[in-house]
Structure 1
Amino acid sequence: MNRSQLYGNLGIRLDMAVEAHDVIRQERGSDIPGVKVFKAQHPTATVTTVIVENVQGEQAMGKPVGTYVTIDAPQLRDNNREVHQQIASILAKELTGLLQLRPDGSVLVVGLGNWNATPDALGPKVVDYTMVTRHLHQYAPEELAGGLRPVSAIAPGVLGLTGIETAEIIKGIVEKTRPDLVIAIDALATSSVDRIATSVQLANTGIHPGSGVGNKRAGINLETMGVPVVALGIPTVMHAGIIAHEAIEKLMEQFQTSPTLYKLYKGLNPDALQQIIEQVLGPYTRDLIMTPKEIDQLIQQTSKVVASGIAQSLHPSITPEQWTQYLQ
């Protein structure tokens, strides 16, 4: 049983395009038709761009046609303000490349997630630090130093808190305020412990909130909103099924040093691996999600970096120091 099939059977969906690409490419043993990958190295980060060019690539990847940018920055987890600012600048540059927005275009920033659940609170926390300016254009134009793009922000909560589909709330706001673009921020699920709170994914394809943890919510994209949607996310959780699978794989690798054990391993029924994981996880096979105990601190740090990157991208005339003057 290959990795992608196992993940599918366990109800695990890979939020990050770069991870989905690595799994599929490894299984195929060759490049994926209809998909291109580019890498760029920075002192504090590695930027990987995955472009799904056509339907063939879309079907192979399980991701809509579009551009997916992953910024891997291990130092994002550290409490280093100078490094965080460098990462925010990289984020701003990559985000600007996806926006396709005129200088006076208006933007709605949407913080998806549940503010009562820390691993899911990235979106609402970013909204807390977002530099909102839409109201200033009408009520305090003298405060628009250097010319600021109209930006509004909302944290609409989740279905369990509001009784309303998140997409319905956002659609109503879009119809009323008529932004030229929506930036949706959400917490993601990853298949690598190393990526928790150290990677940022950008995508010009929109987002399906909760998809990585098995919640099927209505999509927030161009088709549903009527305006372009750029998705931005940071991995904060990892599925327990992936952790269990990785542990078994590492154990199996040790069998190669023993011919007898390795022969037993090669004779193992592929379905047995899934059965073992299901037995260990029991009734939570599809629903057990893991996160670090210091996730509250990580959310606090990463949300500021994301908000700073968004501010630099949307308001290029404002310095990082000036950004803090406009916080809510």
Structure 2
Amino acid sequence: MVEKYNVRTDLALEERERFESDNIEVKGVELEESYDEEKEIRISKVIIRTEKGAKTMGKPVGTYLTLEAPNMVNPDEGYHREISVEISAFLKGLIDEHLPCHKEHNVLIIGLGNREVTPDALGPYVVDNLNITRHIIREYGKYASGTEHPSLVSAIVPGVMAQTGMETVEIVRGIVEETHPDLVIAVDALAARNSRRLNRTIQIADTGIRPGSGVGNHRHGLTRESVGVPVIAIGVPTVVDAVTIVNDTMENLVQAMESSKALKGVGNVLKSYSDAEKYELISELISPHLNGMFVTPKDIDEMVKQTSYMISEALNMLFQNVQEACIQK
């Protein structure tokens, strides 16, 4: 049954959780968790160390950082600033692992997605708010940026294949060959397994990204192997599979049945199913025309704008300060 249990999610944490719920130990995969009660932010780090673990998880070997903040959807600028600081710190740690600290970084930021489809517009919106510096420094010198050791930041919104007729990796590879960045950061909207994680979760990974994988549109990946430089991915889940909505409804139904004398027996039967078995049952029963449907919150417009601004602020803070931190070492 586990082999069939193919939940559409881009979050490594959710992949790890589904094995945990079925009491299956995944060798070669580690999970570290922490919780900040004051900020109400949960930090999870999934580290896939072996190829066997990667095959089981369906994700490449690497580090996956997940920040969960239920209050992220609230219009609180101070709280959003705190999250931006956390994101910036995570990115700094990953960059230090993959890049030397003795030179000014040349960074290319890719805003993946379709600007015309709001749940998929996260990447383009992030790029809209970035502090782009490459052209200024190349034209006027590093002191034009106001810092002693500025990073060269460039960005591109490559669109989707339906708009360009090209794979994103083809566009990015051409830009990398021409501009020679030290690092690529790709920002994209993701799909989640748990509807409570929509727009409340940010995943940062040093393994690159495969655009559209969460919704079944498998495109060639943006990885170190495909573009020639390290690729860090930043993603926020904005959609869930329709099957997930039905599954969450079933969980609520089971809980309601437990308090009903007439239906308690049925509830106990459903409760005895594992997550994999329940998901497989729903997939078989759900109407065929709903099986490929994805759902997004009604206030997705405002949520995507808020989240994209948090991520762009984190990137702006990071590349304004990263070289100063390197010099202080």
User: 1:33 matched to which residue of 2?
Assistant: 27
* Superposition deviation, residue 128 in structure 1: 0.4
Quote the Cα distance in structure 1 between the aligned partners of 2:277 and 2:20: 22
Calculate the TM-score normalised by the size of structure 1.
0.88
Quote the Cα distance in structure 2 between the aligned partners of 1:55 and 1:104: 33
Judging changes above 3 Å, is the alpha-carbon distance between structure 1 residues 99 and 264 closer, same or farther for their aligned structure 2 residues? Answer: closer
Quote the Cα distance in structure 1 between the aligned partners of 2:203 and 2:272: 39
User: 2:69 matched to which residue of 1?
Assistant: 73
Structure 1: runs of 5+ lacking an equivalent = 320-328
Question: Conserved in 2, the CA contact under 8 Å of 1:106 and 1:149?
Answer: yes
Between the two proteins, what is the percent identity of the paired residues? Answer: 37
Quote the Cα distance in structure 2 between the aligned partners of 1:99 and 1:229: 10
Quote the Cα distance in structure 1 between the aligned partners of 2:256 and 2:4: 24
Judging changes above 3 Å, is the alpha-carbon distance between structure 1 residues 33 and 318 closer, same or farther for their aligned structure 2 residues? Answer: closer
Quote the Cα distance in structure 1 between the aligned partners of 2:200 and 2:251: 24
User: 1:159 matched to which residue of 2?
Assistant: 161
Question: Conserved in 1, the CA contact under 8 Å of 2:112 and 2:211?
Answer: yes
Q: For each residue in 1:131-180, what CA deviation from the matched residue of structure 2 results, as whole angstroms up to 9, or x when unmatched?
A: 11111112122421113200100000000011111110011101110101
Letter in 1 for 2:289: P
Quote the Cα distance in structure 2 between the aligned partners of 1:267 and 1:79: 40
Question: Conserved in 2, the CA contact under 8 Å of 1:167 and 1:219?
Answer: yes
* Superposition deviation, residue 243 in structure 1: 1.2
* Superposition deviation, residue 247 in structure 1: 1.6
* Superposition deviation, residue 28 in structure 1: 2.6
Letter in 1 for 2:72: L
User: 1:249 matched to which residue of 2?
Assistant: 251
> 1:1-328 to 2 correspondence within 5 Å?
1=1, 5-6=4-5, 8=6, 12-29=7-24, 31-42=25-36, 43-44=38-39, 45-100=41-96, 101=99, 102=101, 103-141=103-141, 142-146=143-147, 147-256=149-258, 258=261, 260-262=265-267, 265=270, 274=280, 276-285=282-291, 287-316=292-321
Judging changes above 3 Å, is the alpha-carbon distance between structure 1 residues 260 and 81 closer, same or farther for their aligned structure 2 residues? Answer: closer
Calculate the TM-score normalised by the size of structure 2.
0.88
RMSD: 2.5
Q: For each residue in 1:227-258, what CA deviation from the matched residue of structure 2 results, as whole angstroms up to 9, or x when unmatched?
A: 11000001111111111122223323444555
Quote the Cα distance in structure 2 between the aligned partners of 1:128 and 1:243: 32
Letter in 1 for 2:314: G
Quote the Cα distance in structure 2 between the aligned partners of 1:50 and 1:203: 10
Question: Conserved in 2, the CA contact under 8 Å of 1:245 and 1:277?
Answer: no
